[in-house]
C-alpha cells in the first residue's frame, strides 16, 4: 500500500473512533436512555372506557413528581380536549394515546413533540413557565383532516 494511502486510512479510522467515543461519553454524561414513553399498551377500541382516557383534560395530582396530568385522546381528526388552561409554572405530565391511526403531537415553540400510536401510551413531562397560547398540532400525515387537527394550550396566571 502507498504510504499516503496508509496515512489517510488511519486518519479516517481515528476520526471515526473519536466521534464514536464523543457520542458515547456525552450520552453517558447526559444520562441518555431509550425513551420511556410508549412502553405502556392499551386496546385502541377501549380507550374511552379505560383510565385515564375516560376523563380527558387536566387533573391535579398529589404525591407525584408533577403537579398535573394532562390526558389527551387523539383521533382522526381531533384532540380531546380541544382547549386546555394550565396555571403558569405547573409541571405537567402529558399522557396521550390514539384511537385510530398514527398522529403527531407537537406543541409549537416548545420541546414537546411526540408520535401518538394506537395501542401505545405516550407521555412527556414539561413545566409550562411562560404565559401564552400554544398551538398543539399534528405533524404526522393521518388523512384528509390532518391539517385541521389542533388544540389550544393556554398557560395562564394562577
Q: Check residue 141 for interaction with ligand CUA (CB under 6 A).
A: yes
Task: Report the residue number, 95 or 155, with the smaller CB distance to ligand CUA.
Answer: 95
Q: Check residue 146 for interaction with ligand CUA (CB under 6 A).
A: yes
Q: Check residue 100 for interaction with ligand CUA (CB under 6 A).
A: no
Q: Check residue 73 for interaction with ligand CUA (CB under 6 A).
A: no
Q: By CB under 6 A, name the one of 142, 151, 153, 155 that touches ligand CUA.
A: 142
Concatenate the DSSP letters of all residues of 92-133 into one string: EEEEEEESSS-EEEEETTSS-EEEE-BTEEEEEEEEE-S-EE
Q: Which residues lie below 8 Å from residue 137, measured CB to CB, with a gap of 6+?
A: 104, 106, 108, 149, 150
**Rounded Cα distance, 148 and 106, in Å:** 14
Q: Check residue 155 for interaction with ligand CUA (CB under 6 A).
A: no
**Rounded Cα distance, 108 and 85, in Å:** 16
Q: Check residue 140 for interaction with ligand CUA (CB under 6 A).
A: yes
Q: Check residue 96 for interaction with ligand CUA (CB under 6 A).
A: no
Question: Which positions lie near ligand CUA, rule CB under 6 A?
Answer: 77, 103-104, 138, 140-142, 146, 149
Amino acid at each position: 500500500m502507498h504510504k499516503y494511502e496508509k496515512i489517510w486510512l488511519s486518519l479516517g479510522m481515528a476520526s471515526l473512533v473519536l466521534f464514536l467515543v464523543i457520542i458515547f461519553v456525552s450520552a453517558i454524561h447526559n444520562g441518555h436512555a431509550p425513551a420511556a414513553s410508549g412502553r405502556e399498551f392499551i386496546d385502541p377500541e377501549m380507550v374511552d372506557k379505560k383510565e385515564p382516557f375516560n376523563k380527558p383534560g387536566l387533573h391535579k395530582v398529589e404525591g407525584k413528581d408533577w403537579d398535573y396530568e394532562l390526558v389527551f385522546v387523539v383521533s382522526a381528526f381531533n384532540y380531546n380536549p380541544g382547549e386546555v388552561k394550565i396555571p403558569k409554572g405547573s409541571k405537567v405530565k402529558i399522557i396521550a394515546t390514539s384511537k385510530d391511526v398514527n398522529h403527531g403531537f407537537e406543541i409549537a415553540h416548545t420541546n414537546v413533540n411526540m408520535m401518538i400510536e394506537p395501542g401505545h401510551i405516550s407521555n412527556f413531562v414539561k413545566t409550562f413557565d411562560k404565559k401564552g397560547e400554544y398551538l398543539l398540532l399534528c405533524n404526522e400525515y393521518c388523512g384528509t383532516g390532518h391539517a385541521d387537527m389542533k388544540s389550544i394550550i393556554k398557560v395562564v396566571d394562577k
